[in-house]
Chain A
Amino acid sequence: DGGITQSPKYLFRKEGQNVTLSCEQNLNHDAMYWYRQDPGQGLRLIYYSQIVNDFQKGDIAEGYSVSREKKESFPLTVTSAQKNPTAFYLCASSVEIQETQYFGPGTRLLVL
């Protein structure tokens, strides 16, 4: 069963805490992406990676960090510097950059 998985489905963050969202794909895609979704708005790009060991900032990278040590995995860390982290986070992947993106099921991050 190929696809993109994200975990956890829900995540709670305390003040001053860093949290990491997992994204794994077994589609053999080179490119991976992280988006943030807020009510009434289009998806906003946080970070993307065209290939292993390379990643680029998107439009709203402040307060977030990523790594791409394996082709299959692209974890996102929401740091304490992100002052408004409550959102639905979506991971996506594509064969290569600017090709069709396929999305994971999402992680909802809530602040305690």
Chain B
Amino acid sequence: GESVGLHLPTLSVQEGDNSIINCAYSNSASDYFIWYKQESGKGPQFIIDIRSNMDKRQGQRVTVLLNKTVKHLSLQIAATQPGDSAVYFCAVDFNKFYFGSGTKLNVKP
């Protein structure tokens, strides 16, 4: 199987700073990874994904880094804004998707 963990349950950053949210997984055969954003009381929203044949992928203000050697995934958010406040969790595909419990990002004005 697979297990997915996030390093911090809560992360507080100043508006304008960069945020880094981490995720660790256990199975080296996992080959597809997704980051989701979930605002309070709403469904998760797809942010960005990456496959195991890549180690970096960039979107608008977001970058996902994949380190297969240590089985670690990170989401970087540039110039964090108040609208980025939410819970962020990763999903790791190994026969089915396994979901982390999430990191709550608080953006301080």
Contact = CB atoms under 8 A, between A and B. Distances in A.
Interface of A: 4, 6, 35, 40-43, 45, 90, 98, 100-106, 108
A61 to B, nearest CB: 13
Contacts of A42: 4, 89, 98-102
A23 to B, nearest CB: 11
A98 B102 contact: no
- Chain A binding surface SS class: loop
Contacts of A45: 96-97
Interface in B53-74: none
A103 B93 contact: no
B33 to A, nearest CB: 11
State the main secondary structure of chain B at its contact with A: strand
Interface of B: 4, 9, 32, 34, 36, 41-46, 49, 89, 91, 93, 95-102
Contacts of B96: 45, 98
Nearest to A94: B97
Contact of A106 (B9, B36, B42, B89): B42
A98 B2 CA distance: 15
